[in-house]
Structure 1
């Protein structure tokens, strides 16, 4: 079987480290391209950058966390190019209006203030404990997440916060996606809960739901074996 282009889309303050275990194991099935959004400040701009990095022609697209939202925008912008879609530990709705949405904005801007005042690692120490399974806080995966955050800057964080606050609502898009779609989530993801992925799975016509045991939000790093197995099956669908 020849390898197919696979566009990998990282999440907020993430980079290729999120996908390292998968890249190492999927080489016989996929030619992996990891997007770097630079200073892009909208989900649409991130999707456009990601598409520009991929080779011409058909491709599979996988997005983790914010990258899942970018993946949905990629397939909206270029549906003729996307042969498979993976939405992992992510969401699809716009910012909720009213009290809940204002609370989300307040929380994100407070983290940005920490980053500007005390540095990116201080931000990570506040934010990352909720990103991994409780058993991994202060462990090697947690440290890898902190180091990834430190590779970004407060200005990049500000741009990505803007993208998330003004994120598009993909609710009406899901039912029209006709490619094999992997919906994957850590069972203990407290940031993008399993219930949201069950909702997506119920609407997406050709979707498979994969629940990653013993994992929080950073499933690709926390339980790489489970995630890679699910991705291999998806690439063969």
Structure 2
């Protein structure tokens, strides 16, 4: 697994690992790198089957497979423990890690994530995969911003979104890999085990997320014992990108709290 380290370079520095959503590309976290890099060693990677780690995925692919890749990255980077931040699908990877390898996590941040996919989210993915089937990658990627960003933000950033669309086509993971990763996402169900998570957890969501109802995040925050909810009024599914200053401040404050809870003196 290829990965990139930003920010502090020394191996003794506290580490944050950032895991993207269904698109899988580490570049999603660009708005976080400078803010986090002042204090942390920041590990960013492309999910297996995407970007720099592209390969054809097996049809029977699971969230646990994705979590194993994270453990491999941590081992290769010489990281014993990290603050793990996962967006959507990346959050599912974080939940699996918290249940199977909690000793590797200093804290867990779940961004617009869920323990079991919501019926509305499943409907959105059905529509998106139909676009992919009948219109090809260009149609799929042209529709993607509708699910990621609030309408007013899209209106103000039309040129940026057009550039992202071109880059998206260039780096598209392919229909087979997308379906394999989507299948893993849809099959994941950890609702009955959330009470077992003992890692300090921040659940971050936006009320105007049109892909994942914020009520999924409320459910996570209620069920995970050592958790708190950071609920933004707006920002969409990609609120870490549309309002990065607020999101980054929430992250850094939470990491400080989690570190203090582990080392009070």
1:25, distance to aligned residue in structure 2 (A): 0.5
1:222, distance to aligned residue in structure 2 (A): 0.7
With structure 2 as the length reference, what TM-score do the two structures score?
A: 0.78
With structure 1 as the length reference, what TM-score do the two structures score?
A: 0.86
Judge conservation of contact 1:10–1:63 (CA < 8 Å) in 2. Answer: yes
**Runs of 5+ unmatched residues, structure 2:** 1-11, 50-56, 258-265
Judge conservation of contact 1:136–1:142 (CA < 8 Å) in 2. Answer: no
Aligned mates of 1:94, 1:53 — CA distance in 2: 27
Alignment match of 2:245 (pick from 202, 225, 233): 225
- Classify the secondary structure of the residue corresponding to 2:23: coil
Aligned mates of 1:12, 1:48 — CA distance in 2: 17
1:71, distance to aligned residue in structure 2 (A): 0.9
Alignment of 1:105-184 (within 5 A): 106-114=126-134, 117-118=135-136, 120-138=137-155, 139=157, 140=159, 142-143=161-162, 145-147=164-166, 149-150=168-169, 151-154=171-174, 155-166=176-187, 168-184=188-204
Do the aligned partners of residues 143 and 76 (structure 1) sit closer, same or farther apart at CA in structure 2, a change above 3 Å counting?
Answer: farther
Aligned mates of 2:29, 2:63 — CA distance in 1: 20
- The Cα offsets for residues 40-89 of structure 1, whole Å up to 9 and x where unpaired, read as 53211111112111234111111001111111112222111111000001
After TM superposition, the runs of 4+ consecutive aligned structure 1 residues lying more than 6 A away are: none
**Residue number in structure 2 paired with 1:52:** 72
Aligned length: 230
Aligned mates of 2:29, 2:224 — CA distance in 1: 24
The higher radius of gyration belongs to 2
- Classify the secondary structure of the residue corresponding to 2:41: strand
**Runs of 5+ unmatched residues, structure 1:** none
Alignment of 1:196-211 (within 5 A): 196-211=216-231
Whose RCO is larger (CA < 8 A, sep 6+)?
1
1:134, distance to aligned residue in structure 2 (A): 1.1
Do the aligned partners of residues 95 and 185 (structure 1) sit closer, same or farther apart at CA in structure 2, a change above 3 Å counting?
Answer: closer
Aligned mates of 1:69, 1:236 — CA distance in 2: 23
Aligned mates of 2:200, 2:236 — CA distance in 1: 24
